[in-house]
Amino acid sequence: MATREIISTGNELAALAGVDAGCTFFGGYPLTPSSEVMHEISDLLPKVGGTCIQMEDEIGAICAVIGAGMAGARTMTGTSGPGMSLKAENLGLAQMAEVPLVCVNVMRGGPSTGLPTRVSQGDILQSKNPSHGDYKSITLCAGTLAECYTETVRAFNIADRFMQPVIVLLDETIGHMHGKADLPTVEEVKAGIVPRKRFDGPAEEYFPYECGPTEPAVLNPMFEGYRYHFTGLHHDKNGFPTEEIETCRKLIQRLEDKVAMHEDELESYEEFMMDDAEVMIIAYGSVSLAAKESIRHLRDEGIKAGLFRPITIWPSPAKKIKEYTDKIKKVLVVELNIGQYHSEVERASSRLDIDGLFKVNGRPISPYEIVNKVKEL
């Protein structure tokens, strides 16, 4: 497989991925530590005929992105935790109206403005339910510089396949990390683009929300002769608001099942030295890099440790976690929050003895800290 070598940062690679994946519209607002995503894409998009617009705030940014998505464009925004909070209501609109978009969230400390220039993984639970109501969120998490690119590309294809927002999590460390990344070629990326489905029949036979119980809506771009309605309210097959009991029930169940019944298409994870592991470390994002280094040290000392790294965070790879935790006694979840994914591992494993190593002061977790914690087990 042909590759190209690029020296860049995680944030800039996410922006490049958007352009290579066919994004033609970016709406954003600068927010540390995600600002470089918008800075970079504002240079790249005009060169390919696309548009980048800085809105007055995060609410305006997500609204602009949804509007461009309704018109058929591949759209993207970038932000950090406080911006996700402001985007929350309209991310719910995109879930209900089934408008695809990609949101890159470069995590920092919180709540509120928190630690703007420091690293955190405090948005894990927020990314599971970024807005109120019933739906199934899709969230990917980059653990290397190359994945800042490849997972963003994957997010665009997933967004169009499932017709909903897809969140790509970076964190401050990996977003600002500068190094070499081996990436697929532009030709390979473009060959792998999976466009959203379209209806090509007579306009009078087009009902965008009339679809199978586990399938997404089929939304033709606006201004092409197909009439339908966009709303955040419960709606019928045309998109018009309704309170009819069975129509409302089927709609919300479908928003859940269109993801839940196709999780095999989304599941992605990495296993590192897990073949003979007697201690299982679960980590994601930049923390997984420290975990790999700690595992090398532990192995040198005769401790058989291995790493399980979820790449698709939501829906979680619960069955694989269960498979490992059923046979490995010592399990350690390492994350830059107070245990947000730890609770998911407990749920997936049906165990209450899962150990944790957490840090919430804005500083990264070192391999040395992980080694010492494993030895305590």
Domain-located, residue 245: no
Domain-located, residue 328: yes
Strand arrangement of the beta sheet that strand 279-282 belongs to: 269-272, 305-310, 279-282, 330-335, 355-358
CA distance readout (Å), 273 to 4, 291, 323: 27, 11, 16
The whole-number pLDDT of residue 365 equals 98
Q: How many CB atoms lie within 10 A of CB 38?
A: 25
Domain-located, residue 174: yes
The tens digit of pLDDT for each residue in 325-362 reads 999 999 999 999 999 999 999 999 999 999 999 999 99
The whole-number pLDDT of residue 60 equals 98
Domain-located, residue 264: no
Number of domains in the chain: 2
Q: What is the pTM of this model?
A: 0.97
In 3-state terms the chain splits into helix, strand, coil percentages (rounded to 5) of 40, 20, 35
CATH number of the domain at 370, please: 3.40.50.920
In which residue ranges of the chain is pLDDT below 50? none
List, in sequence order, every residue forming a beta bridge with 363; answer none if it has no partner. none
Using the structure block, give the residue that is written with the tokens 């989304």.
Answer: 266
Residues 55 and 172 in one domain: yes
Residues 144 and 286 in one domain: no
Domain holding 345, by residue range, is 270-376
User: Is there a cis peptide before residue 116, judged by omega within 30 degrees of 0?
Assistant: no
Residues 178 and 282 in one domain: no
Domain-located, residue 232: no
Domain termination residue (choose one: 191, 223, 247): 191
Q: What is the rounded CA–CA span in Å between residue 97 and residue 138?
A: 16
Residues 27 and 167 in one domain: yes
Domain-located, residue 136: yes
The whole-number pLDDT of residue 1 equals 63
The tens digit of pLDDT for each residue in 8-38 reads 999 999 999 999 999 999 999 999 999 999 9
Domain-located, residue 57: yes
Question: Would you say the C-alpha torsion 15, 18, 155, 79 has a positive or negative sign?
Answer: positive
Q: What is the rounded CA–CA span in Å between residue 126 and residue 369?
A: 27
Residues 176 and 36 in one domain: yes
Crossing angle for the helix pair 367-376 and 287-300, nearest 10 degrees? 60
Write the single-letter amino acid at 18: G
CATH number of the domain at 130, please: 3.40.50.970
The whole-number pLDDT of residue 2 equals 76
Residues 158 and 275 in one domain: no
138-141 and 312-314 strand pairing = antiparallel
DSSP 200-239: -S-GGG--TT---TTS----PPTTSS------SS-B-TTS
Q: What is the rounded CA–CA span in Å between residue 154 and residue 145?
A: 15
